[in-house]
Structure 1
Amino acid sequence: MSEQSHQPEHSGESITVMRVEPIYDTGIVVTSTAQEPGGKLADRHSAYHDNISPPLQWTSVPDAKAWAIIVEDPDAPRELPFVHWMIWNIEGGLTALPEAIGNVPDPVTPQGAVQGRNDMGGYGWFGPRPPQGHGVHRYYFQVFALSDRIEMGPESSLEEILNALKARTLAKGEMMATYEAPAAQ
């Protein structure tokens, strides 16, 4: 197999959105102006460049009291998908997040939101950084409309958040973006 046709090894576990059954059958449409034609996430959002969170927009869901977003890469060369972002308790009336939310557990915007740790150990967003020569990776931006806030702190694990999502998800949706390591200089 040539280096150019290399496909990433996939993790053995499903991403979070596949493990949560919502109350409503209606889905959520998730979009981002940071996604280029063809699906690639703009370079400024990758950890190879500026490593800032992308702006997101989603459709509203009646009765949503809060939102949660989880971004995972199932193409990471490891057993579990790589968690790039966990943010929850986004106020239910919102249907968008701005670009460049600070990488702190309690961001200024959106007020009241909580950011958990990504798989690099920091709070908030850690942008795509697939290994050189590993091919195109997929990044799933998963949005969950919740019937109530999640009363958990920033040290909560993905499994703890998943269990909370299972009990509170009204509707869910996702956007898949792609990214590949820049060519070695």
Structure 2
Amino acid sequence: MNWIIEKLKMLKYVEITASWLFANAKGRDAKTFVKGPQFASYPEPTIQITSPDCGASPATLSPEYIAGGDGRLPSLEWNTVPGVKQWILICEDVDAPLPNPICHGLYLGISKDKLSVTTSDFKPENEKSTRLNGGFHYGTSRIWIPPRPLLNHGIHRYFFDIIALSEPLDEKLAASKPTREQLAKEIDGKILGWGRWIGQCERVWK
């Protein structure tokens, strides 16, 4: 048992060292999904989005929403826009010490009539499908990666961006776990606007 405790402590030291080395490697806001050329006509958010659970943006994520806790997705709700045929939702950590934001979740094929999501919406319908209980698909290798900032790296911001599309995505594409890059190409010329809610948290070694 002692060796396990020592190993965990050593891993913490490694993590804190990485936080110190990459203290200034944050703020990848300019490289988020909605800053791609496809969004040239919508440089700023046009859709209101908030979280009934966590409050208005920016909101502090309590332990139940981060790794080590329940790792739940915050509930979200947004207003509609004229002509919308489908929605996309993406969550990115813009303060991870990497060249680009980390994609924590990508959800596509959300019905035009669905203007909110809750934790239960993100449970899989079955083990063999990418379709979730909310009636939409997830597009990353995992359904959801709970926030887990580096220890002592300060506050990390998690951008939850909702995107309105003028045309629905091809169902086969939606079910195929498309990458962030594949999806960006597919929605070019189909964007009607977007909105952002920010949840933030940090991990401190006490």
Once residues 26 and 87 of structure 2 are traced to their aligned partners in structure 1, the CA distance between those partners, rounded to angstroms, is 28
Once residues 39 and 69 of structure 2 are traced to their aligned partners in structure 1, the CA distance between those partners, rounded to angstroms, is 36
Q: State yes or no: 1:18 paired with 2:43.
A: no
Q: Which blocks of at least 5 consecutive residues in structure 2 are unaligned?
A: 1-18
Which of 157, 169, 182 does residue 191 from structure 2 map onto? 169
Q: Over residues 133-182 of structure 1, what are the superposed CA-to-partner deviations in whole Å (9 max), with x where a residue is unaligned?
A: 1110011111101112222134211001112232311111111221111x
Mark the CA change 1:41 to 1:21 in structure 2 (over 3 Å): closer, same or farther.
Answer: same
Structure 2 counterpart of 1:173, which letter? G
Structure 2 counterpart of 1:129, which letter? R
Which of 88, 92, 95 does residue 68 from structure 1 map onto? 88
Match runs of 1:12-51 below 5 Å: 14-19=31-36, 20-21=38-39, 27-35=46-54, 39-51=59-71
RMSD: 2.6
SS at match of 2:39: coil
Once residues 35 and 153 of structure 2 are traced to their aligned partners in structure 1, the CA distance between those partners, rounded to angstroms, is 25
Once residues 45 and 74 of structure 2 are traced to their aligned partners in structure 1, the CA distance between those partners, rounded to angstroms, is 25
Q: State yes or no: 1:141 paired with 2:160.
A: yes
Specify the alignment match of 1:125 in structure 2. Answer: 144
Structure number with higher helix proportion: 2
Structure 1 counterpart of 2:191, which letter? T
SS at match of 1:167: coil
How many aligned residue pairs are there?
175
Could you tell me how far 1:74 is from its partner in structure 2? 1.2
Could you tell me how far 1:11 is from its partner in structure 2? 6.5
Larger Rg: 2
Mark the CA change 1:180 to 1:106 in structure 2 (over 3 Å): closer, same or farther.
Answer: same
Mark the CA change 1:108 to 1:163 in structure 2 (over 3 Å): closer, same or farther.
Answer: same
Contact 1:11 1:80 (8 Å CA) reproduced:
no
Could you tell me how far 1:26 is from its partner in structure 2? 7.6
Could you tell me how far 1:62 is from its partner in structure 2? 1.5
Q: Over residues 14-55 of structure 1, what are the superposed CA-to-partner deviations in whole Å (9 max), with x where a residue is unaligned?
A: 101122427678810110123257621232111221112111
Specify the alignment match of 1:106 in structure 2. Answer: 131
Q: Over residues 63-85 of structure 1, what are the superposed CA-to-partner deviations in whole Å (9 max), with x where a residue is unaligned?
A: 11110001101111112100011
Structure 1 counterpart of 2:71, which letter? N
Once residues 160 and 97 of structure 1 are traced to their aligned partners in structure 2, the CA distance between those partners, rounded to angstroms, is 24
